[in-house]
Homo-oligomer: A and B are copies of this chain.
Amino acid sequence: MADAALPPTAVPQPGLHAADFTKPDGRAVTLYGLKPVRVTGEMPSPSPDPVDARPVLRWHPLRGEWVMYAAHRLNRTFLPPPEYNPLAPTTDSAHPTELPPGEYDLAVFENRFPSLSLHAPDPGEGPADTRAGVGACEVVVFSQDARGRLADLEEAHMDLLLSVWADRTARLAATGRIQSVLCFENRGVEVGVTLHHPHGQIYAYDHIPPVQARMLAQAQAHHAEHGRPWLADFVAQERAAGERVVLDAGEALSVVPPFARYSFETWIVPARPVGLLAELTGRERAAFARVLKDTLLRLDGLFGVRMPYLLTVHQAPLDGPHPAFPLHIELYPYLRAPGRMKYLAGTEQGAGEFANDKFPETAAAELRAVAPEAGAAL
């Protein structure tokens, strides 16, 4: 882990084995393992062409946010054979994937079609408020098993993923050009996911995006008013109320927040308020991993189908320290009832306010009633 980028409150994370490589097309790859990493083939790339990413940012003057343009993304020519899985280890050198064969548990590589890049060139001419799309887009392959789910990872493997997210955050911070890192997983054919190999993505921004800016401002205002981090008050309040807690594992817990925007929206929070994954102790991280796995299994068990969802990891901006910022994971399950998707329509997109059919107290009771084993069988 790049020590230079660790915050002073970060906890050393022994046991994280990492090995860095460069692909033939110039992209960086890191393989991670619970045991030492060993590669048994060449580092592949699906295409011999060099990456030619020219992402651009333009300013939206009325919403006050940047919009990313990556015109190279849409017209990508990529005609893989049937059953080709670019996230699996390469087994046939005639059809190279993104990853080599070998002994490793997780892999991270630069997205071949990034919306943001540390190498983004100056866009030259353009409308006002156009600039290079500086940042990074990475793909995180959760496991070598193409058919598994994030929920299927062993707890130690899930714990490793949390360490990998922390490591990527630290490495991106160490570039000195990144102010905010968003790790996420978008899952489900219902929401456009075409690669079923379990994987997530990382977007790294050279500025603080609107959601993170808003959370930071709100959390700082709470801290200033009450003299305590918002997360400390939230955990105390939810433990006292009890009715919205799904699982309390001591150092970490899952809660349907009283202000859930999705019907079964669930947050994973550490009991001790910190701003970054790297600040969790080994014991706290293990509890966090356990609660995350439990939540994912309950969501799949809820309706007996693989729940489409968005998982986002919220960490403090990197221009900090920001002791008020609450590290947490938000899980947005897209089904509000069996076969009934939540769509973001007029009020959500046009006004920025969500309509939810289900009270959080009801949702939490239904999630508590799910046996995690029901989800494990899917």
- Interface, chain A (partner B; CB < 8 A): 56, 58-71, 73-74, 115, 127-130, 180, 182, 184-186, 191-192, 201, 203, 205, 209-212, 214-215, 217-219, 222, 230, 237, 241, 258-261, 263, 310, 312, 314, 326, 330, 332, 336-337, 341, 343-347, 349-359, 362
Contacts and interface: CB of A to CB of B under 8 A. Distances in A.
A261 B330 CA distance: 24
Given A61-B218, A346-B201, A351 B211 contact: yes
Given A67-B353, A74-B337, 6 more contacts: A67-B260, A68-B353, A73-B357, A185-B346, A210-B352, A212-B351
A349 B222 CA distance: 23
A115 B65 contact: no
A217 B128 CA distance: 20
7 contacts: A64-B214, A68-B354, A182-B346, A191-B343, A209-B347, A211-B350, A344-B344
A263 B353 CA distance: 23
Residue among A180, A222, A350 having the largest count of chain B Cβ atoms under 10 Å: A350
Nearest to A71: B359
A352 to B, nearest CB: 4
A70 B351 contact: no
Contacts of A129: 259
A58 B258 contact: yes
Contacts of A343: 186, 191-192
A350 B50 CA distance: 30
A344 B127 CA distance: 25
A56 B260 CA distance: 13
Given A74-B336, A74-B337, A127-B241, A352 B209 contact: yes
Contacts of A347: 68, 115, 182, 203, 209
Given A259-B59, A312-B349, A346-B201, A69 B356 contact: yes
Contacts of A203: 346-347, 351
B310 A261 contact: no
A129 B257 CA distance: 13
A359 B358 CA distance: 39
A272 B362 CA distance: 50
A-B pairs with the 7 shortest C-beta distances? A184-B346, A312-B350, A210-B352, A74-B357, A209-B351, A127-B258, A192-B343
Contacts of A185: 346
A350 to B, nearest CB: 4
Contacts of A218: 61-64
Nearest to A350: B312
A350 B260 CA distance: 14
B186 A353 contact: no
A353 B310 contact: no
A353 B211 CA distance: 9
A67 B346 contact: no
A70 B362 CA distance: 13
Nearest to A257: B60
A332 B259 CA distance: 27
